[in-house]
Homo-oligomer: A and B are copies of this chain.
């Protein structure tokens, strides 16, 4: 947890630190990131970082948690719960893609938490970040079934898991070299993915709709 001094910081300065830290952690991973560089990039002294955070670990945890919250907010923030399931999923993919392209670093942080040797962080962050989604998707599907726009013979929890997995893989494809190469292998794409993100998003949502909708 950040120290009180961090909370009292001018927002602009705090933001600079978080940005630099997120940049570096997401580019290089936890171990390869140097606290001194975070400091110099954000224009504060090395010692100051330790006035704000207990340790590099503490800073990392804060940055991850903060990044994941921004991600959630960007995606869910302006969702209208009255929309139908496909509309909401479509919105999530669209907003997710926009967020991934604007702030790839916050999504890359996700990969830091999944990495080997980061179990300690996962233990704390994963339930926070995934719990919401799990409940959200499940209730979305249930309502869809009630409304007759989702087939009723599905294993709901697993279908939620499926949708989220697709969602995750899609976003990671926009921010991680590995997942980018991977998706291009599957979709037979060449060149940058960036200008096709929306198109791919639409295809994914279409596929989901095709698979979920009741048989006519």
* Known interface pairs A164-B186, A187-B158, A203-B155; A181-B127 also in contact (CB < 8 Å): yes
Q: Specify which chain B residues have a CB less than 8 angstroms from the CB of A127 in the assembled complex.
A: 181, 185
Quick check: is A160 within 8 A (CB to CB) of the other chain? yes
CB distance from A8 to the nearest CB of B (A): 16
One digit per residue, 1 when the CB lies within 8 angstroms of any chain B CB and 0 when it does not, for chain A 157-195 equals 111111011101100100011110111011110000000
Interface segment among A9-17, A87-95, A114-122: the answer is A114-122
By DSSP majority rule, is chain A's interface helix, strand, loop, or mixed? Answer: helix
Interface segment among A24-32, A37-45, A70-78: the answer is A24-32
Interface size range of chain A in the complex: 35 or more
Quick check: is A146 within 8 A (CB to CB) of the other chain? no
Q: Specify which chain B residues have a CB less than 8 angstroms from the CB of A123 in the assembled complex.
A: 177, 181
Report how far A210 CA is from B131 CA in the complex, Å.
26
Q: Specify which chain B residues have a CB less than 8 angstroms from the CB of A28 in the assembled complex.
A: 116-117
* Known interface pairs A29-B31, A117-B32, A158-B207; A130-B181 also in contact (CB < 8 Å): yes
Report how far A182 CA is from B161 CA in the complex, Å.
9
16 additional A-B residue pairs with CB within 8 Å, beyond A29-B118, A123-B177:
A29-B115, A108-B116, A111-B116, A116-B176, A118-B178, A119-B178, A126-B185, A127-B181, A130-B181, A133-B185, A134-B185, A137-B186, A153-B210, A155-B207, A157-B187, A162-B207
User: What are 9 A-B pairs at a CB distance below 8 A?
Assistant: A28-B117, A29-B118, A30-B31, A122-B176, A131-B185, A133-B185, A138-B186, A154-B207, A161-B187
